[in-house]
Structure 1
């Protein structure tokens, strides 16, 4: 059986970037404006506050795990005393991989392991849009263990290090995301998969993206009326069923073109289009350039990459 969540995470092509231990004491505040990189954090001891995109503050406690799939604007701070003037604190590196926030003396109010990873997929923005803006999980020891393994592996230089890191990141993402799944999740793939009826339709679309699905057929798979299915899907996933299917087909097509798996006609057939011309029109409308131009652009980017040149 196809697992939509595993497919999405796989297509994101996650890789480890770096991790560090951060200690906080006294009054401190850190505001980050990142270029959309995935950020994760586990509270090893103590507590602190977190706000994503100026939303309501969330209190993080020992054992809490946080994942922000696309970290643009978020702020962390001490609980008490509250920082005055919202002036950002400059972290001080105590030793490689260990940083201090706030006072250099006095008891620590938090100790956390934080890190960033990267998504290799050029379609990451679309795929990330299917995920929650913030994943906050409490009391899941498996997540803490995975983060610690990731940290240990990233600091070593053992054989197959990059392969292990990639697999750990994939498992970490899937474990974190499925820990958040439920009817209370924000609109997106996780909330859709938490609905038994909608999950059937989502799995069918992922299992058979080439099938000429209609809303009526998907509704039948979910054992719902057409109108009830359409509204329930749109509320839970955040987009209409056919729009989701189009996004998924285009994500698959981009991946096939990037990996040069077949010509345009073969790619069209593998993502559910009856002809190369029909596929090309849909792809150009969705992506902004024809599939041939997209494939060429991806090849040029790979060939000009410093990693490619060094290989």
Structure 2
């Protein structure tokens, strides 16, 4: 299994639809800060998208935006339009037929946007934010955007009805949506620093695949470099530049992510978890986990159970 699939499956992503918005005339709307990444899809018309750093993106019908850190996302009809916060009070007043309406009273909406919050398993939710660049923007003309349009349509249908297996279906759909989006990013000429940067380099991708395929193995930089067909020095430098951490540090981080997931879901004793991720004893694993996470495995497991 490849690194991207491993990570997405570990995250167990679900979606909570934030809702639909319809706008007309001169308008601007701010999305309240969200606890996780948010996707937006322009289903009709055009608008401008503005993130917390102030950069404006020109969006057209069929465009898709994935916002990794949605603390101050906004949509505007034009650069100088004033914005209002779309909080619960605003939605209660301006909701019509299941969508938030903004702009000229009585005017026919010319722009429509649907948005959804991506919620991940809390054990490793930060992995998705680390995986993503601040924004990913796919134009309607991109092949990926065409597929995403179909996915968003099915997600909206599935989220709106309490059918058997709904959560499982939504989880798989969000996994596919994320993979489609991130595939596009790995092909970018300026890939995001992190796992995506490594996956965008065929030789580094091979090293990542090896680590994920056999996480318990005591990989050395020399071995990984040899499998990747590179010298040790070149491999170590290239990996650190692309991924943002040294190869062994990345492996340790992935081991701890697997351990946190197993502890949260009660899968195995400390000895079993330790052996599975490459430690010869529970004490060695506990020491490494405490150093990395900030608390012993038993305390972490108890804390996660208390939050459920």
Q: More strand per residue: 1 or 2?
A: 1
Partners of 1:241 and 1:210 lie apart in 2 by 14
Aligned residue-pair number: 298
SS of the equivalent of 1:136 reads strand
Instruction: Determine the C-alpha separation between the residues in 1 that align with 2:45 and 2:301.
Output: 49
State whether structure 2 residue 271 is matched by structure 1 residue 270: no
Match of 1:12 in 2: 11
- What does the per-residue CA deviation read over 1:172-220, in whole Å, with 9 as the maximum and x for residues that have no partner? 1111211222242221212211110110001111111111112222111
Q: Which residue of 2 aligns with 1:169?
A: 174
Alignment of structure 1 residues 1-311 onto 2, 5 Å: 2-79=1-78, 82-84=80-82, 88=85, 90=90, 92-96=94-98, 98-139=99-140, 140-182=145-187, 183-302=189-308
Q: CA deviation at 1:88?
A: 4.6
Compute the displacement of 1:87 (Å). 5.3
2:23–2:110 contact (8 Å) kept in structure 1: yes
Contact 1:268/1:274 (<8 A) preserved = yes
Output the CA distance in 2 between the equivalents of 1:108 and 1:261: 51
- Taking the aligned partners of 2:20 and 2:32, their CA distance within structure 1 comes to 20
Q: Which moved further from structure 2: 24-33 or 167-176?
A: 24-33
Which deviations, in whole Å up to 9, do the C-alpha atoms of 1:135-162 show, x marking residues without a partner? 2112321100100100011112222222
State TM-score, norm by structure 1: 0.89
Give runs of ≥4 in structure 1 deviating > 3 Å: 86-91, 105-109
CA distance in structure 1 between the aligned counterparts of 2:170 and 2:122, rounded to whole angstroms: 17
Quote the Cα distance in structure 1 between the aligned partners of 2:129 and 2:58. 24
Rounded Cα–Cα distance in structure 1 between residues aligned with 2:268 and 2:246: 30
Change (3 A) 1:173 1:187: same
Contact 2:27-2:102 within 8 A present in 1 as well: yes
Q: Give the CA deviation at 1:75.
A: 2.1
Whole-Å separation in 2 of the counterparts to 1:55 and 1:200: 37
User: Could you list the runs of 5+ residues in structure 1 that have no partner in the other structure?
Assistant: 303-311
8 Å contact from structure 2 (residues 37, 70) kept in 1 = yes
> SS state of the match for residue 129, structure 1?
helix
The alpha carbon displacement at 1:127 in A equals 4.1
| Preserved contact between residue 31 and residue 85 of structure 2 (Cα < 8 Å) | no
- Is the Cα contact below 8 Å between 2:47 and 2:78 reproduced in 1? yes
TM-score, normalization by structure 2: 0.90
Gaps of 5+ in 2: none
Cα distance change on mapping 1:214 and 1:53 into 2, 3 Å: farther
1:237-259 Cα distance to aligned partner (Å, 9 max, x none)? 12222221111110000111112
Contact 2:37 2:129 in 1 (8 A): no
Structure-1 separation of matches of 2:100 and 2:245? 42
Equivalent pair of 1:31/1:76 in contact (CA under 8 Å): yes
